[in-house]
Amino acid sequence: MHPKNRLWATAALCASTLLSACGGSDGPEFRTTAYGKVQGINDAAGTGTYAWKGLPFAKPPVGALRWKAPVEPDAWEGTRAARTFGNACLQNGRIYGPGANNTYDASIATTLNTPVGAEDCLTLNIWRPAGDARDLPVIVFVYGGSNVSGYTADPVYDGAALAKATNAVVVTTNYRLGMLGFMNLPQLKSGDGSPGDSGNFALLDIIQALKFVKGNIAGFGGDPGNVTLMGQSAGAINTWALMTTPLSAGLFQKAIPLSGGISLASNLPAGNLPALNPAAAYLAQGNALLARLVIADGLASDSASAQAWIAGQSSSQIADYLRGKDGATILKTVLAAGLTSSGPIPDGAVLPVDPIGAIAAGNYHKVPVLAGNTADEGKLFAPLLALFGGPAGFKIGDAERFSMMASFNPDAPTRLNEGDILDPAYVPSQAPVTGWNAKSALIGAAFMTPNRDNVLNTLKAKQSDVWYYQFDWAQEPAPWNAIYGAAHAFDLPFLFGNFGPSVFSNAANSEANKPGRTGLSQIMMNSIGAFARTGNPNHAGLGVTWKPWPSAVSFDASLTQPRVTER
């Protein structure tokens, strides 16, 4: 080829590649994935971002695919609309999950403890800054909810503000929940040692989402070689789990696990609450669910006859029986039987039998880690006070509390006081020993703190790039500043730059505290951005030098000014 022609050909190829990455002549909201073309949202004039929502990263895990490892989605013809969130995964309603309409709205109060969402839910969402920048850092977020609830359409998790503030591509992903996401039952296993035999379907979903990111994110301007996996609460437990499984090798290069750990009871001093249960606990849970379903269907009259019926069936017959059940029926049975605990199963294949031991032995993905907790984690776990011999922290139910917050005006005088919400045993909240502050601190001291120290100290012995923050902001209007303070998950709006509408927004966010909280939010998002780019959360606006664990920084603010200090 003539040199001049070769030059023109090279220029044409480069132009073609750039157009593909930027959306081509159709506009920047059009992109092409390995499965087909998608049309998202061009919000350059509003949030300064482009977004794509409801992108399938796996086939719907329904029918024969229920309790199976996720399978790549089918390709589609034409252009797929990617302008609305996909379904929330099937779950029993909680105030932290969706209502009947896959979003935060008043229906949450009327759908508590009833099935919401759908099994056809394995979708993810992408936001990126407007413009044609390429090779941007990628942040993949995994929601919390005790591994039994949560959804990417929660307004707190909208990725636009974080993408804009960090100049990064932000991805949020759904994953299966509860016993649809974690199920340890021999009859569902193929016996060939395949990943699905672990029962960790939710972890496999997140891995499949990360594979989608690796194979497709360049077309959205992201760098597939610079992915930060970020999760909060159950999402943090799952993030820690993915740091210890060989199946996620090369899929992320940094990790941000917030308010979660990966310790078994055997890793902690006696009397503490572990973040992880052994596989045997989930085997017992799976067997109990199966027996309950058999009795409910009239195939047996009691536990003994249910076990006899089950023993008379082949594994394939049991698997067909379970996969033939309506998903909502399964969830109702789980709730009625009190089988609601859920989480990663340390099966020894997908997840080590002892993840902390695996980290101590160096058998994990050695990536920079930024961890965090809130100062008053226990204030969102009021029922756990029963473990300490007292009544549950709140004297009102979730429906009443939800409605109370939804109707609260943070900028107007109120007659509401802490005694309207807290059990009388914990009022006044500031009373030494007996007050709500002191009692809720016991939960954090027995749960979050030992799990945090165990994993971070184990990790620190293997690598130096481990960072930690404590979120101390507690400037809510009264009485919510006493009820919640810096409660579990209250750092999330700051990290995403989203302060409403959402379940806690009326209780937390007032015009009076807006200057301080928005300023603090910007600093926290900048730390996330710095970490996603470099593996170090320090940046010019931090105001202090953030040293690795066991040092830490405190994120706090007055009503009007951010306060970041060394701890």
Active-site residue set: 233
Going by C-alpha positions, the residue among 139, 192, 198 that lies closest to residue 167 is 139
> What is the distance between the alpha carbons of residues 376 and 136, in angstroms, rounded to a whole number?
35
Query: Cα separations (Å) of 127 from 57, 83, 221?
Result: 16, 11, 10
Q: Where are the alpha helices (DSSP H) in 362-434?
A: 398-406
| Burial class of residue 547 in the structure, from the number of CB atoms within 10 Å of its CB (0-12 exposed, 13-18 middle, 19+ buried) | middle
In degrees and rounded to multiples of 5, residue 401 shows phi and psi of -65, -40
Is-cis flag, bond preceding 501, omega within 30?
Answer: yes
The answer to whether 203 and 115 are in contact (CB under 8 A) is no
Can you say how many angstroms the Cα of residue 11 is from the centroid of all Cα atoms in its chain? 43
The CB density around residue 292, as the number of other CB atoms within 10 Å, is 18
* Torsion angle of C-alpha atoms 22, 165, 215, 459, degrees rounded to 10: 160
Determine how many CB atoms are found less than 10 A away from the CB of residue 46.
10
- Residue 15 three-state SS: helix
Pairing of strands 169-173, 49-56: unpaired
Question: Is 141 in contact with 160 (CB distance < 8 Å)?
Answer: no
CB atoms closer than 10 angstroms to residue 32: 17
Q: Tell me how many degrees the CA angle 331-336-342 measures, rounded to the nearest 5.
A: 55
